[in-house]
Amino acid sequence: MSNEKSSRAIWSGVIRRYAAHLPVDAATSIVTLHEGNTPLVRAPRLAAAIGGKFDLHLKCEGLNPTGSFKDRGMTLAVTKARERGAKVLVCASTGNTSASAAAYAARAGLRCVVLIPEGKIALGKLAQALMCGAMTLQVRGNFDTALALVRQLGETGEVEIVNSINPVRIEGQKTAAFEICDALGDAPDYHFLPVGNAGNITAYWKGYSEYHAAGECDTLPRMMGFQAAGAAPIVDGAPVAHPETVAAAIRIGNPASWQSANAAIAASSGHIGKVTDAAILEAYKLAAATEGIFVEPASAVALAGVIQCQRAGLIDDGTIVVVTLTGHGLKDPDTAVQHAAVQPVTVEPDLAAVKAAMGI
Ligand code: AN7
Protein backbone atom coordinates (compact mmCIF):
# COMPACT_ATOMS: atom_id res chain seq x y z
CA MET A 1 0.00 0.00 0.00
CA SER A 2 1.26 3.49 -0.79
CA ASN A 3 1.61 5.92 2.09
CA GLU A 4 -1.29 7.91 0.79
CA LYS A 5 -3.55 4.86 0.78
CA SER A 6 -2.47 3.63 4.19
CA SER A 7 -2.97 7.03 5.80
CA ARG A 8 -6.44 7.23 4.30
CA ALA A 9 -7.26 3.83 5.74
CA ILE A 10 -6.30 4.78 9.29
CA TRP A 11 -8.87 6.61 11.40
CA SER A 12 -7.18 9.61 12.95
CA GLY A 13 -9.98 11.34 14.82
CA VAL A 14 -13.05 13.47 14.23
CA ILE A 15 -11.23 16.69 13.34
CA ARG A 16 -9.40 15.17 10.36
CA ARG A 17 -12.48 13.25 9.20
CA TYR A 18 -14.88 16.19 9.41
CA ALA A 19 -12.51 19.15 8.98
CA ALA A 20 -14.75 20.69 6.31
CA HIS A 21 -17.49 21.13 8.94
CA LEU A 22 -15.27 22.35 11.79
CA PRO A 23 -13.46 25.61 12.65
CA VAL A 24 -10.01 24.34 11.59
CA ASP A 25 -7.72 24.75 8.62
CA ALA A 26 -4.71 23.01 7.15
CA ALA A 27 -2.37 24.81 9.56
CA THR A 28 -4.19 23.61 12.69
CA SER A 29 -2.00 21.47 14.95
CA ILE A 30 -4.48 18.82 16.10
CA VAL A 31 -4.56 17.28 19.57
CA THR A 32 -6.20 13.89 19.14
CA LEU A 33 -6.46 10.44 20.71
CA HIS A 34 -8.21 9.22 17.53
CA GLU A 35 -11.65 9.65 19.08
CA GLY A 36 -14.87 9.01 17.15
CA ASN A 37 -15.70 6.34 14.55
CA THR A 38 -17.62 4.56 17.29
CA PRO A 39 -19.78 1.53 16.46
CA LEU A 40 -23.45 1.94 15.59
CA VAL A 41 -24.73 -1.46 16.66
CA ARG A 42 -28.11 -2.89 15.68
CA ALA A 43 -29.89 -4.23 18.78
CA PRO A 44 -32.69 -6.64 17.78
CA ARG A 45 -32.71 -8.61 21.04
CA LEU A 46 -33.07 -5.46 23.10
CA ALA A 47 -35.82 -4.15 20.79
CA ALA A 48 -37.69 -7.46 21.09
CA ALA A 49 -37.26 -7.52 24.87
CA ILE A 50 -39.10 -4.22 25.15
CA GLY A 51 -41.74 -5.20 22.60
CA GLY A 52 -40.54 -2.73 19.98
CA LYS A 53 -41.25 -3.28 16.28
CA PHE A 54 -38.72 -0.67 15.26
CA ASP A 55 -35.13 -0.88 14.06
CA LEU A 56 -33.03 -0.07 17.12
CA HIS A 57 -29.40 1.08 16.80
CA LEU A 58 -27.02 1.89 19.63
CA LYS A 59 -24.29 4.50 19.13
CA CYS A 60 -21.64 3.16 21.49
CA GLU A 61 -19.81 6.28 22.64
CA GLY A 62 -18.21 4.37 25.49
CA LEU A 63 -15.76 3.13 22.84
CA ASN A 64 -14.09 6.55 22.65
CA PRO A 65 -10.51 6.82 24.00
CA THR A 66 -11.52 7.89 27.51
CA GLY A 67 -14.77 5.93 27.46
CA SER A 68 -17.30 8.67 26.76
CA PHE A 69 -18.64 11.04 24.09
CA LYS A 70 -16.80 13.94 25.71
CA ASP A 71 -13.67 13.15 23.69
CA ARG A 72 -15.30 14.44 20.47
CA GLY A 73 -15.59 17.91 21.91
CA MET A 74 -12.38 17.75 23.91
CA THR A 75 -10.14 17.11 20.90
CA LEU A 76 -11.33 20.40 19.39
CA ALA A 77 -11.46 22.36 22.66
CA VAL A 78 -7.88 21.41 23.54
CA THR A 79 -6.66 21.91 19.97
CA LYS A 80 -8.07 25.46 19.95
CA ALA A 81 -6.90 26.23 23.49
CA ARG A 82 -3.32 25.26 22.65
CA GLU A 83 -3.53 27.23 19.41
CA ARG A 84 -4.47 30.33 21.40
CA GLY A 85 -1.58 29.78 23.76
CA ALA A 86 -3.60 28.70 26.80
CA LYS A 87 -1.56 27.15 29.58
CA VAL A 88 -4.21 25.92 32.01
CA LEU A 89 -7.43 24.08 31.17
CA VAL A 90 -10.24 23.98 33.72
CA CYS A 91 -13.61 22.30 33.91
CA ALA A 92 -16.36 21.41 36.33
CA SER A 93 -17.48 17.85 35.95
CA THR A 94 -19.66 15.00 37.09
CA GLY A 95 -16.74 12.83 35.94
CA ASN A 96 -16.55 12.25 32.22
CA THR A 97 -15.56 15.76 31.21
CA SER A 98 -12.79 15.70 33.81
CA ALA A 99 -11.54 12.31 32.56
CA SER A 100 -11.49 13.58 28.98
CA ALA A 101 -9.97 16.98 29.79
CA ALA A 102 -7.23 15.35 31.87
CA ALA A 103 -6.33 12.98 29.04
CA TYR A 104 -6.30 15.56 26.24
CA ALA A 105 -4.40 18.06 28.42
CA ALA A 106 -1.74 15.41 29.04
CA ARG A 107 -1.64 14.69 25.32
CA ALA A 108 -1.18 18.41 24.59
CA GLY A 109 1.32 19.03 27.38
CA LEU A 110 -0.99 21.49 29.15
CA ARG A 111 -1.90 21.84 32.79
CA CYS A 112 -5.41 20.72 33.79
CA VAL A 113 -7.51 21.50 36.85
CA VAL A 114 -10.84 19.75 37.37
CA LEU A 115 -13.56 20.67 39.87
CA ILE A 116 -15.73 17.73 40.85
CA PRO A 117 -18.54 17.31 43.40
CA GLU A 118 -16.97 15.64 46.41
CA GLY A 119 -17.83 11.95 46.71
CA LYS A 120 -20.23 12.02 43.77
CA ILE A 121 -18.23 10.91 40.77
CA ALA A 122 -17.84 7.29 39.70
CA LEU A 123 -14.59 5.56 40.63
CA GLY A 124 -13.34 4.94 37.09
CA LYS A 125 -13.66 8.62 36.18
CA LEU A 126 -11.78 9.72 39.29
CA ALA A 127 -9.03 7.20 38.46
CA GLN A 128 -8.74 8.62 34.94
CA ALA A 129 -8.33 12.23 36.08
CA LEU A 130 -5.75 11.27 38.70
CA MET A 131 -3.76 9.01 36.38
CA CYS A 132 -3.55 11.71 33.71
CA GLY A 133 -2.19 14.11 36.30
CA ALA A 134 -5.02 16.63 36.55
CA MET A 135 -5.17 18.69 39.72
CA THR A 136 -8.41 17.35 41.14
CA LEU A 137 -10.37 19.70 43.37
CA GLN A 138 -13.26 18.03 45.17
CA VAL A 139 -15.77 20.79 45.81
CA ARG A 140 -18.07 20.58 48.80
CA GLY A 141 -21.10 21.14 46.62
CA ASN A 142 -22.74 19.76 43.49
CA PHE A 143 -21.89 20.12 39.79
CA ASP A 144 -23.82 23.39 39.47
CA THR A 145 -21.75 24.94 42.26
CA ALA A 146 -18.54 23.72 40.62
CA LEU A 147 -19.57 25.14 37.24
CA ALA A 148 -20.36 28.52 38.81
CA LEU A 149 -16.81 28.55 40.23
CA VAL A 150 -15.37 27.61 36.84
CA ARG A 151 -17.25 30.50 35.18
CA GLN A 152 -15.70 32.84 37.75
CA LEU A 153 -12.24 31.38 37.10
CA GLY A 154 -12.82 32.03 33.39
CA GLU A 155 -13.41 35.71 34.08
CA THR A 156 -9.88 36.03 35.50
CA GLY A 157 -8.59 35.45 31.95
CA GLU A 158 -5.97 33.07 33.28
CA VAL A 159 -7.57 29.78 32.31
CA GLU A 160 -9.31 28.13 29.37
CA ILE A 161 -12.71 26.63 30.19
CA VAL A 162 -13.30 23.28 28.47
CA ASN A 163 -16.87 22.71 29.65
CA SER A 164 -19.56 22.75 26.96
CA ILE A 165 -20.17 26.45 27.69
CA ASN A 166 -17.11 26.67 25.42
CA PRO A 167 -18.86 26.58 22.00
CA VAL A 168 -15.99 24.66 20.44
CA ARG A 169 -16.97 21.62 22.53
CA ILE A 170 -20.39 21.58 20.84
CA GLU A 171 -18.72 21.80 17.42
CA GLY A 172 -16.68 18.67 18.11
CA GLN A 173 -19.58 16.74 19.57
CA LYS A 174 -21.81 17.35 16.56
CA THR A 175 -19.61 14.89 14.61
CA ALA A 176 -21.51 12.01 16.22
CA ALA A 177 -24.60 13.03 14.23
CA PHE A 178 -22.49 13.06 11.05
CA GLU A 179 -21.25 9.53 11.75
CA ILE A 180 -24.78 8.26 12.30
CA CYS A 181 -25.99 9.74 9.00
CA ASP A 182 -22.94 8.32 7.22
CA ALA A 183 -23.62 4.85 8.70
CA LEU A 184 -27.38 4.79 8.03
CA GLY A 185 -27.31 6.69 4.74
CA ASP A 186 -29.68 9.25 6.25
CA ALA A 187 -30.77 10.58 9.64
CA PRO A 188 -32.80 8.22 11.87
CA ASP A 189 -36.48 8.84 12.63
CA TYR A 190 -35.89 9.24 16.37
CA HIS A 191 -32.73 10.07 18.28
CA PHE A 192 -32.74 9.33 22.02
CA LEU A 193 -30.12 10.61 24.42
CA PRO A 194 -29.66 11.48 28.09
CA VAL A 195 -29.71 15.14 29.06
CA GLY A 196 -27.61 16.61 31.86
CA ASN A 197 -25.97 19.93 31.14
CA ALA A 198 -27.72 19.70 27.72
CA GLY A 199 -24.60 20.23 25.60
CA ASN A 200 -24.89 16.95 23.75
CA ILE A 201 -28.52 17.30 22.62
CA THR A 202 -27.56 20.77 21.41
CA ALA A 203 -24.56 19.35 19.55
CA TYR A 204 -26.48 16.51 17.88
CA TRP A 205 -29.20 18.83 16.65
CA LYS A 206 -26.59 21.23 15.29
CA GLY A 207 -24.88 18.31 13.55
CA TYR A 208 -28.04 16.94 11.97
CA SER A 209 -29.19 20.42 10.92
CA GLU A 210 -25.85 21.30 9.32
CA TYR A 211 -25.59 17.96 7.53
CA HIS A 212 -29.12 18.47 6.23
CA ALA A 213 -28.32 22.00 5.03
CA ALA A 214 -25.17 20.67 3.31
CA GLY A 215 -27.21 18.03 1.47
CA GLU A 216 -25.48 15.16 3.31
CA CYS A 217 -28.80 13.81 4.64
CA ASP A 218 -32.39 14.20 3.43
CA THR A 219 -34.28 13.92 6.69
CA LEU A 220 -34.02 15.12 10.28
CA PRO A 221 -34.72 13.09 13.43
CA ARG A 222 -37.03 13.88 16.30
CA MET A 223 -34.75 14.67 19.24
CA MET A 224 -35.86 12.66 22.29
CA GLY A 225 -34.10 13.84 25.45
CA PHE A 226 -34.42 12.21 28.86
CA GLN A 227 -33.49 13.35 32.33
CA ALA A 228 -33.43 11.47 35.63
CA ALA A 229 -36.55 12.14 37.69
CA GLY A 230 -34.50 13.49 40.60
CA ALA A 231 -32.60 15.88 38.33
CA ALA A 232 -35.11 16.99 35.71
CA PRO A 233 -35.03 20.79 35.59
CA ILE A 234 -35.86 21.05 31.89
CA VAL A 235 -38.84 18.70 32.16
CA ASP A 236 -40.09 20.33 35.36
CA GLY A 237 -39.42 23.84 34.09
CA ALA A 238 -37.36 25.03 37.07
CA PRO A 239 -33.82 24.57 38.41
CA VAL A 240 -33.38 21.76 40.94
CA ALA A 241 -31.43 22.88 44.02
CA HIS A 242 -30.51 19.39 45.22
CA PRO A 243 -30.44 17.02 42.24
CA GLU A 244 -30.21 13.31 43.11
CA THR A 245 -30.01 10.23 40.90
CA VAL A 246 -28.17 6.94 40.51
CA ALA A 247 -27.09 8.35 37.12
CA ALA A 248 -24.41 10.51 38.77
CA ALA A 249 -23.14 11.84 35.42
CA ILE A 250 -26.37 13.80 34.99
CA ARG A 251 -26.82 14.90 38.59
CA ILE A 252 -27.25 18.47 37.35
CA GLY A 253 -29.89 20.94 38.53
CA ASN A 254 -29.32 23.97 36.32
CA PRO A 255 -28.15 22.98 32.81
CA ALA A 256 -25.97 25.46 30.92
CA SER A 257 -27.54 24.69 27.53
CA TRP A 258 -31.14 24.66 28.78
CA GLN A 259 -32.45 27.05 26.08
CA SER A 260 -30.74 25.33 23.17
CA ALA A 261 -32.02 21.94 24.36
CA ASN A 262 -35.57 23.27 24.31
CA ALA A 263 -34.93 24.80 20.90
CA ALA A 264 -33.72 21.44 19.52
CA ILE A 265 -36.76 19.64 20.89
CA ALA A 266 -39.16 22.24 19.50
CA ALA A 267 -37.52 22.48 16.07
CA SER A 268 -37.40 18.69 15.64
CA SER A 269 -40.92 18.02 16.97
CA GLY A 270 -39.16 16.01 19.66
CA HIS A 271 -39.82 15.27 23.28
CA ILE A 272 -38.20 15.72 26.68
CA GLY A 273 -39.16 13.33 29.46
CA LYS A 274 -37.93 11.95 32.75
CA VAL A 275 -37.36 8.44 34.08
CA THR A 276 -37.05 7.11 37.62
CA ASP A 277 -33.90 5.56 39.06
CA ALA A 278 -35.72 2.18 39.08
CA ALA A 279 -36.41 2.51 35.34
CA ILE A 280 -32.80 3.57 34.71
CA LEU A 281 -31.45 0.51 36.53
CA GLU A 282 -33.86 -1.77 34.65
CA ALA A 283 -32.63 -0.43 31.29
CA TYR A 284 -29.00 -0.55 32.51
CA LYS A 285 -29.29 -4.28 33.20
CA LEU A 286 -31.34 -5.04 30.08
CA ALA A 287 -28.78 -3.60 27.63
CA ALA A 288 -26.00 -5.71 29.12
CA ALA A 289 -28.13 -8.86 29.46
CA THR A 290 -29.70 -8.78 25.98
CA GLU A 291 -26.91 -7.36 23.84
CA GLY A 292 -23.72 -7.57 25.91
CA ILE A 293 -23.47 -3.79 25.89
CA PHE A 294 -22.43 -2.50 29.29
CA VAL A 295 -23.00 1.21 29.73
CA GLU A 296 -22.90 3.58 32.65
CA PRO A 297 -26.20 4.46 34.39
CA ALA A 298 -26.52 7.89 32.72
CA SER A 299 -26.46 6.22 29.31
CA ALA A 300 -29.24 3.88 30.40
CA VAL A 301 -31.43 6.96 30.93
CA ALA A 302 -31.84 7.19 27.15
CA LEU A 303 -32.80 3.52 26.93
CA ALA A 304 -35.27 3.94 29.77
CA GLY A 305 -36.69 6.75 27.66
CA VAL A 306 -37.11 4.38 24.71
CA ILE A 307 -38.91 1.89 26.97
CA GLN A 308 -41.20 4.62 28.31
CA CYS A 309 -42.04 5.87 24.80
CA GLN A 310 -42.57 2.32 23.51
CA ARG A 311 -45.03 1.60 26.32
CA ALA A 312 -46.85 4.86 25.59
CA GLY A 313 -47.10 3.96 21.89
CA LEU A 314 -45.08 6.98 20.84
CA ILE A 315 -42.68 5.15 18.49
CA ASP A 316 -44.11 4.12 15.14
CA ASP A 317 -43.51 0.56 13.89
CA GLY A 318 -40.83 0.17 11.24
CA THR A 319 -39.01 3.37 12.15
CA ILE A 320 -35.28 3.77 12.73
CA VAL A 321 -34.41 4.58 16.31
CA VAL A 322 -30.91 5.58 17.39
CA VAL A 323 -29.89 5.75 21.03
CA THR A 324 -26.64 7.38 22.11
CA LEU A 325 -24.99 5.32 24.82
CA THR A 326 -22.83 8.11 26.18
CA GLY A 327 -20.40 6.32 28.47
CA HIS A 328 -18.85 2.93 29.17
CA GLY A 329 -20.09 0.68 31.97
CA LEU A 330 -16.57 0.27 33.38
CA LYS A 331 -16.66 3.91 34.42
CA ASP A 332 -18.83 2.98 37.39
CA PRO A 333 -18.00 -0.52 38.63
CA ASP A 334 -19.55 0.11 42.05
CA THR A 335 -23.06 0.64 40.68
CA ALA A 336 -22.67 -2.40 38.42
CA VAL A 337 -21.60 -4.80 41.15
CA GLN A 338 -24.26 -3.45 43.47
CA HIS A 339 -27.14 -3.90 41.02
CA ALA A 340 -26.11 -6.82 38.78
CA ALA A 341 -28.66 -9.62 38.49
CA VAL A 342 -25.86 -12.15 38.90
CA GLN A 343 -23.47 -12.25 41.87
CA PRO A 344 -20.26 -14.27 42.28
CA VAL A 345 -20.53 -17.72 43.87
CA THR A 346 -17.54 -18.92 45.87
CA VAL A 347 -16.62 -22.58 45.42
CA GLU A 348 -14.06 -25.03 46.74
CA PRO A 349 -11.23 -25.71 44.26
CA ASP A 350 -12.50 -29.08 43.05
CA LEU A 351 -14.50 -30.32 40.08
CA ALA A 352 -17.36 -31.74 42.10
CA ALA A 353 -17.96 -28.40 43.78
CA VAL A 354 -17.85 -26.54 40.46
CA LYS A 355 -20.28 -29.03 38.87
CA ALA A 356 -22.61 -28.82 41.85
CA ALA A 357 -22.63 -25.03 41.63
CA MET A 358 -23.34 -25.26 37.88
CA GLY A 359 -26.14 -27.75 38.43
CA ILE A 360 -24.67 -30.39 36.12
C1 AN7 B 1 -22.26 9.48 30.47
O2 AN7 B 1 -18.83 15.06 32.69
O3 AN7 B 1 -21.73 16.87 32.48
O4 AN7 B 1 -26.36 16.82 28.52
O5 AN7 B 1 -19.33 16.93 33.66
O6 AN7 B 1 -21.18 11.90 31.40
O7 AN7 B 1 -24.19 17.11 27.34
O8 AN7 B 1 -24.32 17.27 29.83
C9 AN7 B 1 -21.43 14.64 31.84
C10 AN7 B 1 -22.60 14.46 31.18
C11 AN7 B 1 -24.77 11.98 29.55
C12 AN7 B 1 -25.08 14.38 29.77
N13 AN7 B 1 -24.12 10.82 29.70
O14 AN7 B 1 -24.61 15.11 28.66
C15 AN7 B 1 -19.63 15.97 32.94
C16 AN7 B 1 -21.01 15.90 32.41
C17 AN7 B 1 -22.93 10.80 30.32
C18 AN7 B 1 -22.37 11.98 30.81
C19 AN7 B 1 -24.27 13.17 29.99
C20 AN7 B 1 -23.07 13.19 30.65
P21 AN7 B 1 -24.88 16.67 28.57
Ligand 1 atom nearest residue 91's Cα: 5
Residue 5: the pLDDT is 59
Nearest residue by C-alpha to atom 12 in ligand 1: 196
* Pocket lining: 31 vs ligand 1, CB cutoff 6 Å: no
The pLDDT value recorded for residue 102 is: 98
Closest ligand 1 atom, residue 196 Cα:
4
Q: What is the pLDDT of residue 2?
A: 45
Measured from the CB, is residue 198 less than 6 Å from ligand 1?
A: yes
Global pTM value:
0.96
121 lines ligand 1 (CB under 6 A): no
How far is 177 from 187, CA to CA, in rounded Å? 8
* Span from the CA of 250 to the centroid of ligand 1 (angstroms): 6
**pLDDT given at position 24:** 97
Ligand 1, pocket-test mutation among 64, 89, 143, 326, most atoms within 8 A of CB? 326
- What span, in angstroms and rounded, lies between the C-alpha atoms of 157 and 349? 62
The number of the ligand 1 atom at minimal distance from the alpha carbon of 97 is 2
- Give the span between the Cα atoms of 61 and 101, in whole angstroms: 16
Amino acid at 112: C
- What pLDDT score was predicted for residue 1? 41
- Whole-number pLDDT of residue 262: 98
Residue among 135, 84, 70 nearest 106 (CA): 135
Residue of 59, 70, 301 to mutate, ligand 1, most atoms within 8 A of C-beta: 70
- The preferred substitution site among 68, 74, 274, 331 for testing ligand 1, maximizing ligand atoms within 8 Å of CB, is 68
Q: Alpha-carbon distance 334 to 344, whole Å?
A: 14
CA of 292 relative to ligand 1 center, distance in Å: 22
8 Å CB contact between 136 and 60: no
pLDDT < 50 stretches in the chain: 1-2
Give the integer Cα–Cα distance in Å for 65 and 212.
28
Q: How far is the CA of 352 from the centre of ligand 1 (A)?
A: 48
Give the position, in ligand 1's atom list, of the atom nearest the Cα of 96.
2
User: Measuring CA to CA, which residue among 137, 80, 140 is closest to residue 110?
Assistant: 80
Q: 315-320 long-range CB contacts below 8 Å, 24 or more apart? A: 315/52, 315/54, 315/190, 316/54, 316/189, 317/53, 317/54, 318/53, 318/54, 318/55, 319/54, 319/55, 319/188, 319/189, 319/190, 320/54, 320/55, 320/57, 320/184, 320/188, 320/189, 320/190
Q: Is the CB of residue 194 below 6 angstroms from any atom belonging to ligand 1?
A: yes
Burial of 7 (0-12, 13-18, 19+ CB in 10 A): exposed
Task: Give the number of other CB atoms < 10 A from CB of residue 149.
Answer: 15
217 lines ligand 1 (CB under 6 A): no
Of 94, 112, 37, nearest in space to 71 by CA? 37
Q: Which atom of ligand 1 is nearest to the CA of 164?
A: 7
Query: What confidence score (pLDDT) does residue 80 get?
Result: 97
